């Protein structure tokens, strides 16, 4: 005997599963943006400060 989740119940289960997947995907991408952005911005400000100090020393 073959069992499958076809019809409205299958559509509901698939929809809930895909909804949970995409919710988790959006959540992890938001967390990556929040936590990884400072890792790039902070060293960039150090480089800009060093370049500004070097330019000021020349003048």
pLDDT of residue 6: 76
Task: Output the pLDDT for position 5.
Answer: 66
Q: How many domains does the chain have?
A: 1
Q: What is the mean pLDDT of residues 47-55?
A: 95
- Whether 8 is in a domain gets the answer no
What is the tens place of the pLDDT at every residue in 5-44?
Answer: 678 888 999 999 999 999 999 999 999 999 999 899 999 9
Do 50 and 42 touch, CB atoms closer than 8 A? no
Query: Per the domain annotation, does 32 fall within a domain?
Result: yes
Measured distance CA(36)–CA(30) in Å, rounded: 10
pLDDT at 7: 84
- Specify if 59 maps to a domain: yes
15 within some domain: no
Q: What pLDDT does 17 receive?
A: 97
| Structural domain of 38 | 25-59
Q: What is the C-alpha separation between 19 and 48, in angstroms, rounded?
A: 43
Residue 20 lies in a domain: no
């Amino acid at each position: 005997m073959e069992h499958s989740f076809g019809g409205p119940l299958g559509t509901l289960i698939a929809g809930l599963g895909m909804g949970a997947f995409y919710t988790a995907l959006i959540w992890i991408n938001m967390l990556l943006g929040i936590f990884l952005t400072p890792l790039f911005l902070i060293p960039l400000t150090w480089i800009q400060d060093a370049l500004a100090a070097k330019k000021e020393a020349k003048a």
